[in-house]
């Protein structure tokens, strides 16, 4: 890990911890006590102009890697932090609302701890499949990837499985192989658990029960996945690339067993939350993280330090992708605070005009072009706003889930599924693209990916899902 990156992250942590400790000591409240905070603290609605940093940041995330790549690569950490700081200062100095900032920062720490630990632990695992690919074997592999992405996250599953998938298909590899991998393993597959995809994890952190997702989404997940796999099978069956037959050992090799243990620790750690398990102690001084996050950061350190260097070399392991997520999301988490509050307020006003179909398509279309995590939070906030509930209050989220399921179903499914529409819809999409390009595969451009693949293949499937499950409901 580069020293500069470590120093910057440490500096950020110190700044936030300082604010957190000072504020918490003054108020004698910890972050977990936010459940007790009443709505009276939220009487000040932020100015509409305060949504601008959020809009600017999301637009830059979408356009930076495409139109001003080198400027973006050099300056995105500064841009993200400055835009985030703008909102933080506004809330502290003008609205005098530090509670919501600390709540958001605690969510950020949990979010980055999970993503970072999954990323580093899976980077120390190498799977080698020396088997000739067939369309059916590819379908089974992708289906396995979809299931596993609910256990180790779409990020972990993508990191772990993209290399063996490319290797299996190396003699007849076409860009569509990678694209369907992005559709299935990096996105749609991970719709069943909060570990699966970042928006669902943020939902869990906000108060959506862990097993709510699988209980309420599996019957939508299965048909969507089967339809995409069926289209892939047709594509792969029509691939008549001629290649020289080579000998395959039909062996599957797995290296890095120790890191598999670390993945299990991460998954178990997700449940170590005072809200989920009452006897889990809260840390003193209002620290914006708990035992769960300490375990996850510990896993990052131990799994990297103890990893086999040959595996890291074979995986071309680099901290850059997770560094990018850490920097960008600190800006996203900070800047989305006013957007969340304003959307909740507006949804309350619009009320019955917003049905499940509106939430499905609105969450989906924004998740496709913006990051799906803030989009999920914005629309969850909007749906809760219909009932005058606040997404920033865990108890109110839990109450909302028990009142009406259809909106959260639509938002959860759309945020995860539509993340596959563009390269920027979900974090792992770019990682898979980058790994494939580093392997020498020429991937379609941003627009070709959409026009030739995602819009043509996914939108009709998502329209069928809408017709069956959300049309005219809510």
Partner 1 sequence: MNTIKEALDKKSDGLCYGNRVILPFKASFLKVIIEDDIITDFSTSSKGIYIREDENYTDLYFLEIKDLKESITKYENIKMVVVEKGDDIFNIDNHKKIALYIGEKHNVKIEKTDDDILFIE
Tell which one of 10, 45, 68, 320 touches partner 1 (CB under 8 A).
320
Nearest-angstrom CA–CA distance, 341 and 336: 9
Longest CA–CA span in the chain (Å) reads 72
Residue 47 found at the interface with partner 1 (CB under 8 A)? no
Tell which one of 7, 78, 96, 170 touches partner 1 (CB under 8 A).
170
Residue 407 found at the interface with partner 1 (CB under 8 A)? no
251: three-class secondary structure by DSSP: strand
CB of 314 to partner 1, least distance (A): 4
Residue 267 found at the interface with partner 1 (CB under 8 A)? no
Residue 439 found at the interface with partner 1 (CB under 8 A)? yes
Q: Which is nearer to partner 1, 236 or 341 (CB)?
A: 236
Please list every residue from 222 through 241 that binds partner 1, using CB under 8 A: none
Nearest-angstrom CA–CA distance, 328 and 310: 30
Tell which one of 86, 434, 446, 459 touches partner 1 (CB under 8 A).
434
Tell which one of 437, 445, 456, 463 touches partner 1 (CB under 8 A).
437
Residue 346 found at the interface with partner 1 (CB under 8 A)? no
146: which residues sit within 8 A by CB, 6+ positions away? 184, 185, 188, 189, 190, 225
CB of 220 to partner 1, least distance (A): 34
Residue found under tokens 């797995």 = 254
Tell which one of 12, 37, 61, 126 touches partner 1 (CB under 8 A).
126
Evaluated on CA atoms 69, 74, 79, 85, the torsion sign reads positive
> How many angstroms separate the Cα of 321 from the Cα of each of 58, 84, 316, 451?
17, 20, 12, 26
> How many angstroms separate the Cα of 399 from the Cα of each of 212, 376, 451?
13, 18, 41
Residues belonging to the chain: 474
Residue 297 found at the interface with partner 1 (CB under 8 A)? no
Q: Which is nearer to partner 1, 99 or 433 (CB)?
A: 433
Residue 167 found at the interface with partner 1 (CB under 8 A)? yes
CB of 311 to partner 1, least distance (A): 8
Tell which one of 111, 176, 319, 466 touches partner 1 (CB under 8 A).
319
Q: Which is nearer to partner 1, 3 or 38 (CB)?
A: 3
Residues pairing with 130 in the sheet: 251
Residue found under tokens 């120093």 = 7
CB of 170 to partner 1, least distance (A): 6
Nearest-angstrom CA–CA distance, 337 and 101: 8
Residue 9 found at the interface with partner 1 (CB under 8 A)? no
Which of these, 326, 333, 417, 337, lies nearest to 114 by C-alpha position? Answer: 326
Total site size for partner 1, rule CB under 8 A: 29
From 209-217, 342-350, 419-427, 438-446, give the range in contact with partner 1 by CB under 8 A.
438-446
Residue 422 found at the interface with partner 1 (CB under 8 A)? no
From 78-86, 274-282, 310-318, 341-349, give the range in contact with partner 1 by CB under 8 A.
310-318
Q: Which two tokens stand for residue 116?
A: 């970072």
255: three-class secondary structure by DSSP: strand
Q: Which two tokens stand for residue 418?
A: 């539509």
From 110-118, 150-158, 365-373, 430-438, give the range in contact with partner 1 by CB under 8 A.
430-438
Rg over CA atoms, the chain: 22
CB of 456 to partner 1, least distance (A): 25
Cβ-contact 339, 54 below 8 angstroms? yes
Sites of contact with partner 1 (CB under 8 A): 2, 70, 126, 128, 163, 166-167, 170, 173, 309-310, 312-320, 433-435, 437-442
């Amino acid at each position: 890990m580069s020293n500069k990156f470590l120093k910057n992250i440490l500096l950020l942590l110190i700044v936030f911890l300082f604010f957190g400790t000072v504020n918490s000591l003054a108020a004698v409240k910890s972050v977990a006590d936010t459940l007790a905070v009443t709505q009276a603290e939220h009487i000040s609605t932020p100015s509409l102009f305060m949504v601008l940093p959020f809009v600017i940041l999301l637009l830059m995330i979408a356009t930076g890697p495409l139109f001003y790549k080198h400027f973006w690569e050099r300056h995105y950490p500064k841009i993200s932090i400055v835009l985030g700081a703008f909102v933080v200062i506004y809330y502290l100095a003008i609205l005098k609302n530090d509670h919501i900032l600390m709540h958001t920062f605690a969510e950020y720490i949990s979010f980055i701890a999970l993503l970072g630990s999954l990323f580093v632990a899976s980077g120390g695992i190498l799977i080698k499949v020396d088997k000739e690919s067939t369309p059916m074997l590819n379908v089974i592999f992708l289906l396995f990837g979809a299931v596993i992405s609910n256990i180790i996250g779409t990020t972990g599953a993508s990191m772990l499985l993209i290399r063996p998938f490319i290797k299996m298909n190396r003699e007849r590899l076409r860009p569509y192989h990678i694209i369907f991998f992005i559709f299935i393993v990096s996105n749609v597959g991970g719709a069943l658990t909060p570990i699966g995809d970042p928006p669902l994890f943020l939902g869990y952190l906000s108060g959506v029960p862990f097993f709510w997702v699988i209980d309420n989404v599996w019957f939508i997940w299965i048909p969507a996945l089967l339809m995409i796999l069926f289209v892939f099978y047709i594509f792969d069956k029509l691939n008549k690339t001629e290649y020289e037959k080579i000998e395959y050992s039909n062996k599957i090799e797995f290296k890095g067993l120790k890191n598999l243990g670390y993945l299990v620790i991460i998954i178990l750690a997700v449940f170590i939350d005072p809200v989920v398990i009452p006897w889990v102690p809260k840390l003193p001084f209002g620290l914006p993280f708990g035992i769960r996050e300490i375990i996850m950061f510990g896993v990052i350190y131990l799994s990297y330090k103890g990893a086999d260097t040959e595996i890291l070399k074979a995986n071309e392991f680099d901290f850059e992708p997770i560094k990018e997520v850490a920097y960008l999301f600190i800006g996203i988490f900070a800047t989305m605070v006013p957007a969340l509050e304003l959307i909740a307020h507006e949804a309350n006003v619009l009320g019955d005009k917003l049905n499940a179909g509106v939430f499905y398509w609105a969450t989906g279309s924004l998740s496709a072009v913006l990051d799906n995590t803030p989009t999920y939070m914005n629309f969850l906030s909007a749906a809760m706003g219909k009932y005058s509930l606040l997404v920033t209050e865990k108890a109110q989220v839990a109450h909302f889930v028990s009142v009406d399921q259809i909106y959260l179903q639509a938002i959860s499914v759309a945020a995860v599924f539509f993340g596959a529409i563009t390269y920027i819809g979900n974090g792992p999409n770019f990682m898979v693209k980058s790994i494939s390009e580093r392997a020498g595969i020429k991937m379609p451009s941003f627009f070709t990916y959409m026009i030739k693949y995602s819009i043509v293949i996914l939108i009709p499937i998502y329209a069928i899902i809408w017709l069956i499950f959300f049309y005219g409901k809510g």
